[in-house]
Structure formats: structure tokens, C-alpha cells
Amino acid sequence: MPAIPIIMPQLGESIAEATIINLLVKPGDLVVTDQDLMEVETNKATMNVASPCPGRVSKVLAKVNESYPVGAVLGYLEASVEDAERLGLSETTATTAPDFGHGAEPQHAPEHEKPRQVVKPTVRGLPVPVNAAGASYMSPRMKARMLELGLHAADLAGLPGSGAAGRVTIKDFEYFIANLEQHKLTQASSMRVAVADAMRRSWTRPLATVALPVCFDPLLAHRKTCQPKPGPALYALRALALALAENSAPAGRLIGSHIVHPSSIDVGFAVEAPEGVLVPVIRQANEKPLKVLVERYDELIRLAHQRKLPGDATGGSIATVTNFGTFGLTWATPIPLPEQTIVLGMGAARRVPSWDDAQGQFVPVMEANVTLSFDHRVLDGGAAGRLLARVAQLLATPTEL
């Protein structure tokens, strides 16, 4: 019978590889079309590899806790000639299932079938010396060694150098690496490494933050009348989407000498997950009223906590909303994602005195700081302030969201 390869699929935009975390079948098992065969983990989610057709599992090449690139052969299915032809496999690509005998691997396995080991970055733990200038200059030898270990220049920010003008020498570097072993080390999760990489790339841009105190009394009063109740961040997401629909330029990205304007108002929101943060995306958030978005918003939060976000709910957003007030924080400066220009933040609401002109006295109101962090290459303070003011204006009239 023809041997149909089980291929590591493209699991999402810019996803190049995934790690096998669970094998759901074994050689000899009968499977049906779209049956889950393996559970895999990317930097942001846990997904499944499904069977391309009915058949019998003849070989499982993938190993748990090893990473494989997109397109790698993870195993083989014995299938019918008809299914092989339907999948567009010729006799040269779908042949008799290979027999490796007693579990032995083939002597000349194709390169794409071999496990692709991922370099695990070293976790830093040393105190930062006060005179450390970091690795501002790196020789080719140093760069090659860092590439081998999966390190970036930011990882050496606290490393003092003994070379000319305080440069970090290869000797300094090797001593630093060797000294790490004397400290307690824990393996960083794939999500933590992904978040760290995103923040490192984000910080290559000039970032700034503006803020406004916003009265939340109208929002909180409106929320009490809703069932189910929208989360505070959803109010902010909807307000930001409407403001960007009026003028999408603030969400544009600077590429060379051009501003790339968004074609759709797709807005993400930050959800805390174990060992990191996920950003589910609500597509065309400006076209759906608040009451329609609640169910989808709650569903995406639940899936994010399970790390089961579908592909159509990740990536491609033009802005992010984050509610740092859930941690009791009143002020913060969130960092926009590398592919985004802006991020809107919400602080915890507190009861504060506010002057009422009509009554001629101070009255208590619930007030929260709303921040807008932005890429200063694209936006100036005035444009950022006007966008934030419009968001605050929309939050003051929640019945219109």
C-alpha cells in the first residue's frame, strides 16, 4: 500500500517550527481523515496535527519534546492508492511504507525527516555590575559563539569588558558563560523566549507614552445593565476601533519612507497566560457593536488560557489593548508589538474627588488612567494625544459603543 507522509503543517503566520508535546497514536493504529495524530506547541499556542486521509499508522518518526520545521515528515500512513492520488502523491512520493525493522531508523533518512534541534538560550542570573557597558562591539568570533548559543547582545547588557575602551572580549564572554553554571538555572519556556524576542525587537524603535485620567462612572453604570457583562478592556477595544476607523493613520507602520495604512481594523487584547502573554484578535472590531463582541471576546479569553487559540484569531492586528489595572496598577507604559505602532493601556479605577461646576463642589468619581504608547517615528505627541482624547470621549458614552 502507498505510504502517505504525515507532514508538519504551516500552523500560523511566521511560524517556522513546532515542538511535539504528545503522540496521540502509535504504529498499527487505524485512523480516519482529520483525526488528531499529534499535539504540538508553537511559541504561542498548542495545536494538533491531523491525518490527511484514512489509513493505518505505519511509522512515527517524531519524538516528544523535539522540534521540527514546517514541512518535516513526522511519520507515515498506509493508505489506499485512491487516497494517494487524491492527495496528489505520485509513485515517487507515495510508495510502499518503509520498513525500518525493529524500530531502527533508516541508514540514509532524508534531511527533512531528521529532528531539528532548537538551541536553548541560556537564562541569565548574574547580578549586573555598576561599571558594565555591555557588548557594544562584537568581533566576528564573538558573534559566531553567541549565534551558536542562541544569545543576543541584550543578554550581555550587564557584562563588564576587560578589552580596550571597555570592550567585551571572547575571554570575558566565556568566563561569563562558565560562571552561569554556578547559579541556579531554570529553562525558559518557549512562550517566554518568544515574548522576550518580541520585546527586544520592539525596543529598537523610539517609543513614547501619553495618558489621560478618564471618568469610568458611565462605563461602570452601563456595564451593570448588560448581560453578559463586557470586560472593561472590551469597552476600550471597541472605542479604539471606532477612533481608528475615523482615522487609521495613527495605526500605520513606517516602512522605509512610506506609511503603510491598515486595510482592516483588527484589534488585539492582551491575555495573561502561564509563563507569558497571548494576544487574541477581534477582526473588524469597528463594524460590530459591543453587545455582539462580548461572546467572541469571552470565548477568546477562555481559549487563550488553554493556549488553544485558532489561527484566525492570532496575528495581523493593527493595535493592542491591555488592562494592566487587573493587577492593581494605576499607571504603566506598555510596549507595542514589533508589527504594531500603538498599544492602549487601562489602569485600575479609583474613587477620587472631581470638581463639579454645576454643584460648585468636589464630588467622588471612579477614575482610571488610560495610556497610549506609540512608535514616535509614526506619531508625534499631538496626534497621539488627539487619538487618546477621542478614545476617552467614546468611553464616556458607552451606549454608543
**Percent of the chain predicted with pLDDT > 90:** 36
C-alpha cell at 121: 538560550
Q: Which fold has domain 3-113?
A: OB fold (Dihydrolipoamide Acetyltransferase, E2P) (2.40.50)
C-alpha cell at 217: 462612572
- Provide the pLDDT for residue 324: 93
Q: What mean pLDDT, rounded, does the chain reach?
A: 81
Query: Is residue 96's pLDDT more than 60?
Result: no
C-alpha cell at 222: 452601563
- Provide the pLDDT for residue 133: 47
Query: What is the average per-residue pLDDT within 94-120?
Result: 42
Question: What's the CA gap between 124 and 97, in Å, rounded?
Answer: 47
Query: Strand, helix or coil at 305?
Result: helix
Q: Which fold has domain 207-400?
A: Chloramphenicol Acetyltransferase (3.30.559)
176 forms bridges with which residues in the sheet? none
- The model's pLDDT over 350-397, given as tens digits with 9 standing for 90+, comes to 999 988 888 889 999 999 999 999 999 988 999 999 999 999 999 999
Question: What's the CA gap between 235 and 290, in Å, rounded?
Answer: 7
- Provide the pLDDT for residue 320: 93
- Provide the pLDDT for residue 71: 83
Q: Which residues contact 118 (CB under 8 A, 6 or more apart)?
A: 17, 19, 67
- The model's pLDDT over 13-44, given as tens digits with 9 standing for 90+, comes to 556 778 888 899 999 999 998 899 998 887 66
- The model's pLDDT over 44-63, given as tens digits with 9 standing for 90+, comes to 678 889 888 899 999 999 99
Domain residue spans in the chain? 3-113, 121-186, 207-400
Q: Is 3-113's fold the same as 207-400's?
A: no
Q: Which of 73-82, 198-207, 236-245 has the lowest average pLDDT?
A: 198-207
Query: Is residue 108's pLDDT more than 80?
Result: no
282 forms bridges with which residues in the sheet? 267
- 138: confidence class by pLDDT, cuts 50, 70, 90: low
Query: What is the average per-residue pLDDT within 55-77?
Result: 89
- The model's pLDDT over 285-333, given as tens digits with 9 standing for 90+, comes to 999 999 999 999 999 999 988 888 888 888 888 999 999 999 999 999 9
Residue 111, Cα to own-chain centre: how many angstroms?
Answer: 30
Query: Is residue 228's pLDDT more than 60?
Result: yes
Name all contacts of 359-367 with Cβ < 8 Å and 24+ positions apart. Answer: 365/215, 365/216, 365/217, 366/215, 366/216, 366/217, 366/220, 367/213, 367/214, 367/215, 367/216
